[in-house]
Amino acid sequence: MIKNKYSMLMVKYISSFIGITIILFILFKNIPERIIVNNYSSSSYSILGLKYPVFIQYFYFVYDMITVNMGNIINPIYSGSIRNAMIILLPETLFITILGFIVSISISYKIGFFLGFRSNKRERLDVNVFPLVIFYFLIPLILIAIFNGITAILPSKYILPAYIIPYNFSWIKLMNDNIFISHPTDILFFDSMIHHSPIILINYLKNFAMPFASLIIPSTVYLSIFTKRLTSIEYNKKYIRIRIVKNIGDDKFIYHIKRNIRYTMLNEFKTVFGLFLGGEIIITYIFSYMNLGEFLIYSVMNYKTGIFGVVESTFIFTMMIFIFNMIIDIITLAGAKNEEYI
């Protein structure tokens, strides 16, 4: 039965992957061919398969997206090959995404669970999640106004101030306005620790503070409210009330509540993660923070030269969500399997 469910899940995700790539391909084909050819070298016809029928072109397109063989780009923050852009930008993007979401989940779980036990109201779960995107736009602007404009405590631009790099740092290079290349991980936080550089680390953390806070505040607030409501609904259910009335003096009911809300929460994480990535794009643009999101916005702004930047970064962000959703579904199925054995 469970095995069958795994196969169903695989089928669902494979068809979903095909669907996503078809949507991207349809959008890609709506861009004039001269723009596509101009952003590639003369080999575009053979690499992108433009000389073949559209059906064959689709497979070339998917292959090129997966292997990041996507030509060149010129935009205000980066000029060069898409592959190099991904090598430089992806590690920092993954770092802030993973760290931000884990922090957000951890804080909201604690707060939501704590508040849920203390709520006597009859709660409902249908909270509209969409305004979360608006908060990703609102909070960075307010934080800049307060912490940079009025109080001038924190910097509001770039991942690191350019003046901080003296010549004797061989492991870090300034490439453009705000593109830094560091070795070995390309993540400034780790590289500054590996190379024992407190100056870079402190400056990095100062620049990191506002974008990171803007990123985690909306999702933490939303997930806290959601967890609170979920816990409260479960806590007020009959089986828990009976245990409490009968004064069964163990903490097992907390375990039951946690177990019963787990899968609803995991499902909600899927929705929130999609909006979280959307928020990351808005925030990194506002803070000019070195990230794939900022790269995507500048690619969208440059119609004639940004095509491959738009396609590849959209594909990568979509795959992040795709993989995250798949992991959540697998965890849910695995959990259901364990509970069947119990």
Say whether residue 322 binds other proteins (CB under 8 A): yes
Element spanning 84, H or E: helix 82-118
Among positions 82, 277, 290, 328, the unique one binding other proteins when judged by CB under 8 A? 277
Q: What is the DSSP letter of 299?
A: H
118 counts as binding other proteins under rule CB under 8 A: no
The yes or no reply on residue 134 touching other proteins (CB under 8 A) is yes
| Minimum distance of other proteins from residue 306's CB (angstroms) | 7
- Of 67-75, 99-107, 191-199, 314-322, the segment contacting other proteins by CB under 8 A is 314-322
Angstrom distance (rounded) from CA 291 to CA 37? 26
CA distances from 113 to 48, 234, 235 (A): 51, 11, 10
Nearer to other proteins, 40 or 298 (CB): 298
Task: For CA atoms 330, 333, 339, 340, give the dihedral sign.
Answer: negative
Which residue, chain included where needed, has tokens 């078809």? Answer: 22
Q: Which of 77, 179, 286, 328 binds other proteins (CB under 8 A)?
A: 286
Asked whether 178 and 288 are in contact (CB, 8 A), the reply is yes
Q: 86, 297, 308, 312: which one contacts other proteins (CB under 8 A)? A: 297
Q: Which stretch binds other proteins (CB under 8 A): 15-23, 174-182, 186-194, 217-225?
A: 15-23
Regarding 105 and contact with other proteins (CB under 8 A), the answer is: no
User: Is 234 in contact with 260 (CB distance < 8 Å)?
Assistant: yes
Q: Which residues pair with 75 in a beta bridge?
A: 78
Q: How far apart are CA 321 and CA 1, in angstroms?
A: 27
Site residues, other proteins (CB under 8 A):
12, 15-16, 19-20, 23-24, 27, 30-31, 124, 126, 128, 130-131, 133-134, 137-138, 141-142, 144-146, 148-150, 156-157, 274-275, 277-279, 281-282, 285-286, 296-297, 299-301, 303, 306, 310, 313-314, 317-318, 321-322, 325
